[in-house]
Amino acid sequence: MKKLLLMRHAKSSFEDSDASDFERGLNKRGEKDAPRMGKLLKEKDLVPDLILSSKAVRTSKTAEIVAEKCGYKKEIVYVEGFYLGEPPIYLETLRGLDDKGTDTVLVVGHNPGLETLLQLLSDHVEALPTGAIAFLELPIRSWSALTADVIADLEKIWRPRDLK
């Protein structure tokens, strides 16, 4: 069984009106929520073996903070296609992973793509507000077996507002 964690980036800032959507960073709430979600992963013994993230500033910052707080020590892999990506790019990227030492993967990305991927894999319609993490158990032994036809068990969704 493989474990997939889908995380929407933490709350982004709209303070800098000159910044493009790609360049937007985190606001104060996002800077507070991201470390809490990282600590949660550590507490739940769900420290990922690999973190994949969009290259957008708000997602990369979220991934870096979560990595630090959960104790992730490896490189974060930034995937160009995750910015505004739809399920096929997420699935294609995950299918290409090496199985050795990658049983738990955290994907940090954007909506609507992440919510669509969550629905596709779990057959559940769930909201992923900023900073939320969905935990899926995949009935596969190899990432190469991950297709849109795989139905995962949605174990839990953690939303920052629920952790207060």
Q: Domain ranges for the chain, please list them.
A: 2-10+20-163
pLDDT digits (tens, 9 = 90+) for 107-160: 999 999 999 999 999 999 999 999 999 999 999 999 999 999 999 999 999 999
Structure tokens at 35: 């470390």
In this structure, whether the domain defined by 2-10+20-163 belongs to CATH 1.10.3720.10 is answered with no
Closest alpha carbon to 6 in 99, 91, 109, 95: 109
138 CB-near residues (< 8 Å, 6+ apart): 1, 2, 3, 4, 121, 146, 150, 152
Q: How confident is the model at residue 12 (pLDDT cuts 50, 70, 90)?
A: confident
Structure tokens at 23: 């360049």
Instruction: Please tell me the pTM assigned to this model.
Output: 0.94
